A and B are shown apart, each in its own frame.
Chain A
Amino acid sequence: MDQDLYAIDSALSEDERAVRDSVRRFVDERVMPVIGPAYIDGRFPKELIPDMAALGLFGANLPVEYGCAGLNNVAYGLIMQELERGDSGIRSFASVQGALVMYPIYAFGSDEQKARYLPAMASGEIIGCFGLTEPDFGSNPSGMITTAHEQSNGSFVLNGAKMWITNGSTAQVAIIWAKTGADDKSIRGFIVPTDTKGFSATDQKGKLSLRASDTSELVLQDVCVPRTHILPKSGGLKSPLMCLTQARFGIAWGAVGAAMACYEEARSYATTRVMFGRPIGGFQIQQQRLADMLTEIVKAQLLALHLGRLKDAGTFTPQQVSLAKRNNVNIATDIAREARRLLGANGILAEYASMRHMANLESVYTYEGTHDIHTLILGQALTGLNAFN
């Protein structure tokens, strides 16, 4: 932010600031000019993929030996913050590619799979998507009905459908989570090339949120994958949830970026828009709006930063991530709405970012664990009592 009121920059290392600055410039120079029209047209600006890859944005916290940038988790978070300052759809693309596709291959894959896919994914040559959510199983993934039946020759045949899959129609590869047996303990991950016979991806139309993002329905009809495509170290619901924890970490930072974008737009507008003979930023109600916004942003930043340090120390927990994702996305939705209101009539135009962020953040509130689900995760952590069912 151009006003680092709480000197949070001083808590970042030089590298972390340099990473943040580079991604910020990338977003200013390459994303901002195209994002408004892309959002209205309902398309992800795919032309940015090669330059995003060249900058090192995909799987940035994975090791250098796989062609990744090898950054720490605070730097990774800053990347997500800056991408989402541009648009949640841009950040979603990077989140999926890095945390939901490259990460499971890194964590659960064989050495051959890692060597084959990770460098190509870092360079953007192979785009992936993450197939966990189903039409009837969102917050409750353990109930999934996508199956993977082992054949006598060792291959697997997959049947089922996945929904709300970011990058689904762009991806060359889908990480599909399916039950090999009766219950959720039998869930395994599979690397499914999207051109496999029986696999189809269709974009979901009519979205009023996250429009600059490809959101697809996947259908698997007798999709056959060789044994070499199972993620050997995956097993049970824990595996996809570990991936989600990675992504949710990034989202806690991303939400801060969206909030910052809305706050800065509101502040800049308030100091130049003149009404009743003075800038509206001089009126008490607008000052209260801005003060409330910035206070929440600072709190959210500090939350995310502490979480990043814990993650780097190897001690973070999924409950900590839930707290940060839940809080940061929630305050971001409020900030976007308040910024939209401060902008007055101008705030409904696509020329201004706040209403686009406001709409996007509704998706971010709902995906990667809804706000309510994270509430229950925390509730259980605090009381020991399960309120899920």
Chain B
Amino acid sequence: MKIAVCIKRVPDTETRIAIAANRTAIVETGVKFILNPYDEFAVEAALQLKQAHGGDVMVVSLGPDTIQETLRVALAMGADRAVQLKTDGAPFDTLSVASALAAELTTYAPDLVLLGKMAIDDYNHAMGPALAELLGMPCVSAISKLTVADGRLTAEREVEGGVEVVTAPLPAVLTADKGLNKPRLPTLPGIMAAKKKPMEVRPAALGVARVVVRSLEPPPERPAGRIIGEGAAAVPELIRLLQTEAKVL
């Protein structure tokens, strides 16, 4: 099987973020960058499929040279080869990036394309289905269970109030949600081996960016709340406030 995994290098949102002076980006010094956690599920799924069916796992990412470190994390987990689509800064526009990924993947001609369902920085939640359309492939998004057999995939995805069971033929695009698997840690021998695996760098064939970030702001402050009382004795006051002030009851 030929499996391609699209990954993204993102700030670890456990750390605090500060908005930069230009107001269109965050301050990067002191920020820890990691492999997008949802992409880890995708890499792990690819590695498990390779273990079961044999084949090749390629990881691809778009960005400046700093993303090579993240590509090597995926190589250290067990991917076979990496491709950096080089660009100064990854655009925010989903379709612009999807065009570049589609161009690369058309050449690679995978049986499966895996990605995380979303990136924890941009929260766009759109790359998988957009990429699938550009590739002309079926897509199942936000999957939490997957089996592949005889050229078909069967997956489960959470929807509001339930779970959909979905099938599609290969080749296909899948996006991974939490619960799909437990990603393996890069082993120490794996980290050393990653340095010797192929890492190709090519310019990114980006599409026009028609969605741009004009500014970043901190979220609006909530007005200060108050502790209205102690114990069950405070319940009548809460009911009164919910009825008269908050008007939700």
Residues of A within 8 A of B (CB): 2-4, 14-15, 18-19, 22-23, 25-26, 29, 54-57, 60, 64, 69-71, 75, 79
Given contacts A56-B188, A71-B188, A4 and B30 within 8 Å (CB-CB): yes
Given contacts A2-B32, A4-B30, A18 and B76 within 8 Å (CB-CB): yes
Interface residues of B in 181-213 (CB under 8 A from A): 185-192, 195
* In the complex, the 8 A-B pairs of residues with the closest C-beta atoms, listed nearest first: A56-B188, A69-B188, A69-B189, A18-B191, A56-B189, A56-B187, A22-B186, A22-B185
Asked whether B15 is an interface residue with its Cβ less than 8 Å from the other chain, the reply is yes
Asked whether B157 is an interface residue with its Cβ less than 8 Å from the other chain, the reply is no
A4 to B185, CA, bound (A): 23
Q: A329 to nearest B CB, angstroms?
A: 25
Of the four ranges (under 10, 10 to 19, 20 to 34, 35 or more), the interface on chain B belongs to 10 to 19
Among B15, B30, B187, contact of A55 (Cβ-Cβ < 8 Å): B187
Asked whether B86 is an interface residue with its Cβ less than 8 Å from the other chain, the reply is no
Q: Is the CB of A64 within 8 A of B189?
A: yes
Residue of B188, B191, B192 with highest tally of chain A CB at under 10 A: B188
With both beta carbons as reference points, the residue of chain A lying nearest to B76 in the complex is identified as A18
Among A2, A3, A22, A25, contact of B188 (Cβ-Cβ < 8 Å): A22
With both beta carbons as reference points, the residue of chain B lying nearest to A71 in the complex is identified as B188
Residues of B within 8 A of A (CB): 14-15, 30, 32, 69, 72-73, 76, 185-192, 195
With both beta carbons as reference points, the residue of chain A lying nearest to B29 in the complex is identified as A7
Q: Can you give 29 contacting A-B residue pairs, CB < 8 Å? A: A2-B15, A2-B32, A14-B69, A14-B72, A15-B191, A15-B192, A15-B195, A18-B69, A18-B72, A18-B76, A18-B191, A19-B188, A19-B191, A22-B185, A22-B186, A22-B187, A22-B191, A54-B187, A55-B188, A56-B187, A56-B188, A56-B190, A64-B189, A69-B187, A69-B189, A70-B189, A70-B192, A71-B192, A79-B188
With both beta carbons as reference points, the residue of chain B lying nearest to A25 in the complex is identified as B185
Q: B125 to nearest A CB, angstroms?
A: 25
Q: A247 to nearest B CB, angstroms?
A: 19
Q: B64 to nearest A CB, angstroms?
A: 15
Q: A119 to nearest B CB, angstroms?
A: 12
Extra 12 A-B pairs, beta carbons < 8 Å, given A55-B185, A56-B190: A2-B32, A18-B186, A22-B185, A22-B187, A22-B191, A23-B188, A60-B188, A64-B189, A69-B187, A69-B188, A69-B189, A79-B188
A69 to B186, CA, bound (A): 12
A23 to B76, CA, bound (A): 13
With both beta carbons as reference points, the residue of chain B lying nearest to A68 in the complex is identified as B189
B191 — which chain A residues lie within 8 A by C-beta?
15, 18-19, 22, 69
Q: B41 to nearest A CB, angstroms?
A: 15
